[in-house]
Amino acid sequence: MKKYTLICAAMCAAMVFTSCKSSESAYKQAYLKAKQQEEMQQQAPAAQETNMVTPMVERPVNNTQVVDNADNIAVRQEQVTVVSGGGLKNFSVVVGSFSLKANAEGLQQTLRSEGYDAQIVMNNNVTPAMYRVVATTFDSKVDAAASRNGLQNKYPGAWLLYAK
């Protein structure tokens, strides 16, 4: 019985060692594949070098249009209703936004003590409803932008509102 066990173990070992051997064809296929990739990489830069760039043609400028910087100022458009104040014109400078009306009223009182005709408007289209404190309001965007620039020293988050 020991003979049979020894013979079976020897045959199993022989099968394991002979079946794990890599074939020469597998090595050859891997070598050929790597060689093809190397050739393709060498050809790709050569193809890029042959691309021609068309020369730039200089042309004189006929019409130069200068755009006033006031046209580049961002304006937020919202549908608002006046809660406290005399009413809005086309463009307004908003210096504060609050979800609580009491906070908006506090800033309104501060602005009025500084000489501004501050107003409170409400935007219901956002959740929660926001109370906007308007320091100044104007018919033209240029005037509103100038006012906003003056207010930004004390109220850095001031922005322009176009009321629908």
| DSSP strands (E only) in the chain | 75-78, 81-84, 91-98, 119-123, 130-138, 159-163
Cα gap 101→84, rounded to integer Å = 10
Is 161 within 8 Å of 92 (Cβ atoms)? yes
Domain spans of the chain, in order of start: 73-163
pLDDT tens digit at each of 164 positions of the chain: 777 787 878 887 777 666 655 667 777 788 888 888 888 777 765 545 555 666 666 655 544 444 445 567 889 999 999 999 989 999 999 999 999 999 999 999 999 999 999 999 999 888 889 999 999 999 999 899 999 999 999 999 999 999 87
Would you give the DSSP letter of residue 23? Answer: P
Looking at residue 91, its amino acid is F
3-state class percentages of the chain: helix first, strand second, coil last, to nearest 5? 45, 20, 35
Cα gap 84→81, rounded to integer Å = 9
The CATH number that domain 73-163 falls under is 3.30.70.1070
Cα gap 157→164, rounded to integer Å = 21
